[in-house]
Amino acid sequence: MRRGWTAVGTATALALALGGCTDGGPAPLKGVVAEADRSKVSGSITVLTNRVDQVNGGLLKKYAAEFNKLYPKVRVNFEGLVDYEGEVGKRLAEGNYGDVLLIPDSLDAGRFPTYFSSLGNSRELSDTFDYIDYGTVDEHVYGIANIGIASGLVYNKAVWAKAGITEWPATPDRFIADLKAVKEKTQAIPYYTNYHDGWPLRQWSDAIGVPSCDNTARDRLAATAAPWTPGADLYEIDSLLYRAVHEKLTESEPQATDWERSKQLLGTGRVATMELGSWAVSQMREAATEAGANPDDIGFMPLPVQHDGHFCTVVQPDYKYAVNVHSPHQDAAKAWLEWYITRSGSAADDESISSVRGAKLPASLQPLDDRAVRMIPQTREQLAKVDAIDRAAGIGLDAPDYRRKLVDLATGAAPGDLDSYFADLNRRWGRAQKAAG
């Protein structure tokens, strides 16, 4: 799923592509987003981010200081938002959404041109950046991801070892049995849902394609009338979450979970497992270090299902960075966006997969390579149609509410059972899919 130009318009743009940060950086780029003469780029820009920890901890300011060595006339300000999806959704409607921002997952791709500036041609930029198709409308690129993320489970290796587990579970039944072993032999919560904050629940949708090991699985939803039938990806994914909750292998009060606290809980071994993208590994390790625990205890493994004897993980971009189409400082905003993605070193710092083509796999994900996990890129050729069906069905694959109800059913907080819920989801999806043709 990894994805400059044949020529660069100005000498200064080429210098940006080749110069980079002071400590090396990736290979020279073939194309660039920021083409203006950097000696003339100026202005004060605001960058909206979900990384509140990096704002409060000062890391983003350190990046900005490095950026200013190339762009001394640009002032970069950061605003961290805890409820990023909800807050930015409102700000988009109000027109107050900074100069550079992460495109909310809930925003339909067809609306990108309304809110964001074009960053270049998709065919040209795809030579330099992976995941370009995710931010493209009619060959215009409106968003570029900084990192790619693998779907799977972040876990505390020491806790699992204490429970006597030495191998990754290869089936859902083995996974549930392992969680039971964690519950019986340790003091840790086997699995943590992060129900309250909600957004972690949507991370399960990133695993669409894992059970089938099919990189077209999400696209195929456009032609699927009943995605929650046995053997289908969504059935397998959501059944696994339901079983973990229903068999009391999760926190006792899902409504009281807390994302920031959960990082420390997993880092110190009071929680054993969470379904999150590989992006979370560095945050869990940082939390472990801050709490005096061993950051090397934090590991990452694929979902407990194999296809033809192989584990699989879907690799796709994290949030895409975009420039506000109304920003009065377009050159400055585009310069920051490109520098941050290609030169800041933030992907390596986060132990994540850089979106710059040719970047090395981070050490934290090396076990995936060592065990021949198939890392499949997810196609998005039917993205707009799948999103339209999802909206018409009122389900929200990339929102937390339908899985919150799944958890409520599993705990008994809501009436009903899994079969009836899946039947309802299938009815709603089927009607919307038929209407969409």
Please spell the DSSP secondary structure of 284-325, one letter per residue: HHHHHHHTTS-GGGEEEE--S-EETTEEEEEEEE-PEEEEBT
Contacts of 132 by beta carbon, 8 Å cutoff, 6+ apart: 3, 122, 125, 126, 141, 144
- pLDDT of 2 strictly over 60: no
245-296 pLDDT, tens digit each: 999 999 999 999 999 999 999 999 999 999 999 989 999 999 999 999 999 9
Please determine whether the domains at 11-145+319-375 and 153-315+382-436 fall in the same fold group of CATH: yes
- Residue count (the chain): 437
For 326-365, write each residue's pLDDT tens digit.
999 999 999 999 999 999 999 988 888 899 988 887 888 8
Q: What distance in Å separates the CA atoms of residue 405 and residue 422, rounded to the nearest whole number?
A: 11
Q: Domain residue spans in the chain? A: 11-145+319-375, 153-315+382-436
Q: Which amino acid is at 323?
A: V
C-alpha distance across the termini of the chain, in Å: 27
pTM: 0.76
Question: Residue 24: pLDDT above 90?
Answer: no
Q: Mean pLDDT score of the chain, rounded to an integer?
A: 90
pLDDT reading at 373 higher than 50: yes
The CATH homologous superfamily of the domain defined by 11-145+319-375: Periplasmic binding protein-like II (3.40.190.10)
Architecture of the 153-315+382-436 domain: 3-Layer(aba) Sandwich (3.40)
Q: How many CA atoms lie within 13 A of 252 on its CB side?
A: 2
